[in-house]
Chains A and B, each alone.
Chain A
Amino acid sequence: MLTIDELTLSFGGVRAIDNLSFGVEDGSITALIGPNGAGKTSVLNVISRFYRPEQGRVIYDGVDVLRLRARQVIRHGITRSFQNVALFGGLTVLENLMLGADYQSRTGALLDMIRPPAVWRHERAGRRRATEVLEFLGIGGIAYRPAEELAFGERKLVDLGRALVPQPKLLLLDEPATGLVESQKAWLTGLLRRIPAEFGTTLLIIDHDMRLVLGVSTRVVVMDFGRKIADGAPAQVRENPAVVTAYLGTASDDAASGD
């Protein structure tokens, strides 16, 4: 269970997050939505310890996340994808995914150079795990391609895969559907729905695509100007006048076409 409590974050004079509180239930698919600039990505960057909030608390499974360093977050079962897709371009797709499991490696540089059996075991397990995830995502064919050569849609999937490899307890997805065409979005929706069951993972998804969000999530938190303006089941949130106003009508259009 992730609890975010009275979180506030400012950049200069701009309040990116303003006294925000919400929780994410284990096993749920929670969506955090809002118009551009509402502060959604900032929330994710706070949880993954890229930003330091002025006040507030982030508790996950009894652990005070704000006391962790960025590199320790993955050890507590929280991984993430990135809005602008940040793959390691010089690594192959397979290596990008294997890196997702490398935090579990206990051998240092010296042992890795000499390669005792423990290193081989780690490599074998990592490769198997990465291959499984690639198969799950349906992109097994590009395993040996350098990440920098991939098309945008493929990159999004590899980014998602890299976050799935460690079998996180909580997966934070930053706009997984951006840049995809409609048919791909529908396919992704189906894929995301399968993740909690297949990986035992709770999902916190950020997006402004209402159709994807309403199709996937079990709960929706709506933000605008850094504040929470609605929180509840997808159907309730869709009818909420504050949400409709925030989206200036596009939300209701999207929602209507999504039925």
Chain B
Amino acid sequence: MRPGTREVDRLSKSLLRRAADRAGPGSRPASWLAGRRIARLGTSAVVVIAALLFPQFEGGNIPVMFLATTALTYGLVAIALNLLMGFGGQISIGHGGFLAVGAFTTAIVATHYHFPPIVVLLLAGLVTGLVGFLLGLPAGRLRSHYLAVATLGFGVAVPELALNMSLTGGFTGVIMPPQQVGSIQFNTPVPLYYLALALVATGMAAVISLLASPTGRRFRAVRDSEEIAPALGVNVPLVKLTLFSLSAFFTGLAGYVFALNNSIVEYSQFDFSLSLFFFAAVIVGGLASTWGPLVGAIALVIVQQQTTSLGGLSETILGAAVVLVLLVVPGGLVALPRLVLRLAAWVWWMAQRVLRRRTLPPPQDPVPAERAMGASEG
């Protein structure tokens, strides 16, 4: 046996064992998988029920309802942005611009035509989707930093355009007329909250459904390797166009809720910091996760609300919160439960080790290498 062979053998054994440890479904016990599934379903059910019952408790509190609807609106934008960034790998720091297009479309169409709300809603989505498609034409040829700058330009340009066009009401903006289906007034807090909730649910369902489909795999294939994807028949420019259009469409739907929630749509609401807010919400919540963008948007809306009294400090605190989350949980807020569980498991394991060492005689291991391996993992 050559010198060093045993070390190599020992190393490869420990690597194998670690591979078995970190493996996903298939190598994990069925009970563990079932437990995880139950935990996930249970959490989702609790969240959904809490969201449905929320107006029962806070329905009369108009500022709180305004904030809750704002959080859901931004949550939908973050979900749309996450589709583009997390699953499509295309960066955008201009989604405030898409939200503005959706909101202005809503207010303008509702002012001039007496369409039913569903038509206005769909128009807001489709017009914004078309703008996304048009932006996707040049943006589809750009990557990473260049794409970031291009979308930044879009995010800055839209409010400037709104300020300087008569169609968008210039400095004063456009007042949003009431929207009504039967006896339901969509410009009152509770119905609007439920509408926002329904749109968020639709957006999430659409993203989940897409991900487990040929289109969703193409998205992620382009994200992971644009160079290789064509060898599997993926039309990369088409994928990017689809991504931009879909993301803009859902952001446009959010624009409808935004217009109703704020009663007026004006250029100053779409300050560039709003685009950065959406970007931060996706990252803080958890890029490429299902719940992450919504969680991130709600968390940031709360942080922003709690710090408004501090004036200019608010933005600083928001920024600090983002940095803090990224330092502690790089996977975003949705990775927090797993981190806590791992930490608990580690503490439990360490405690057992310490206790065993105190109470039992040293183990009689026939293979000294095994013990060395175990120790090296501590």
Contact = CB atoms under 8 A, between A and B. Distances in A.
Interface of A: 48-50, 69-75, 79-80, 82, 86, 88-92, 95, 98-100, 102-103, 105, 107-109, 112-115, 119, 122-123, 126, 141-146, 149, 151, 162
**Interface bin, chain B:** 35 or more
Contacts of B221: 88, 91, 99
Contacts of A115: 209, 213
A119 B227 contact: no
Contacts of A74: 231-233
A142 B23 CA distance: 8
Nearest to B246: A109
Give the interface centre of A123, A141, A145 by most chain B CB atoms within 10 Å.
A145
B223 A112 contact: no
Interface of B: 19, 22-27, 206, 209-210, 212-218, 220-221, 223-225, 227-236, 242, 246, 288
Contacts of B235: 71
B233 A90 contact: no
A99 B217 contact: yes
A67 B107 CA distance: 50
Contacts of A141: 26-27
A69 B236 CA distance: 12
B323 to A, nearest CB: 25
Nearest to A115: B209
A145 B27 CA distance: 9
A112 B209 contact: yes
Given A88-B224, A90-B288, A119 B213 contact: yes
Given A82-B231, A98-B217, A119-B214, 17 more contacts: A71-B230, A72-B233, A73-B231, A79-B231, A80-B231, A88-B220, A92-B24, A99-B232, A102-B217, A102-B234, A107-B214, A112-B216, A115-B213, A119-B213, A145-B23, A149-B23, A151-B19
Contacts of B22: 149
B234 A109 contact: no
A113 to B, nearest CB: 5
Given A90-B224, A109-B246, A113-B210, A145 B26 contact: yes
B231 A142 contact: no
B26 A112 contact: no
B26 A114 contact: no
A92 B24 CA distance: 9
A198 to B, nearest CB: 21
Nearest to A119: B213
Given A99-B217, A109-B242, A88 B212 contact: no
Contacts of B232: 74, 79, 99-100, 102-103, 162
B209 A144 contact: no
A69 B220 CA distance: 21
B24 A145 contact: yes
Contacts of A151: 19
A109 B215 contact: yes
A206 to B, nearest CB: 15
Contacts of A92: 24
Contacts of A102: 214, 217-218, 232-234
B217 A91 contact: yes
A60 to B, nearest CB: 15
Contact of B233 (A75, A107, A113, A145): A75
A161 B72 CA distance: 43
Contact of A114 (B209, B223, B288): B209
A95 B217 contact: yes
Contact of A103 (B19, B25, B213, B233): B233
Nearest to B27: A141
Contacts of B24: 92, 144-146
B217 A109 contact: no
B11 to A, nearest CB: 13
A112 B23 contact: no
A17 B351 CA distance: 64
Nearest to B234: A71
29 contacts: A49-B230, A69-B230, A71-B231, A72-B233, A73-B231, A74-B232, A74-B233, A75-B233, A86-B225, A88-B225, A89-B224, A95-B217, A98-B217, A99-B217, A102-B218, A108-B242, A109-B210, A112-B209, A112-B213, A112-B216, A113-B206, A113-B210, A119-B214, A123-B213, A126-B214, A141-B27, A144-B26, A145-B26, A151-B19
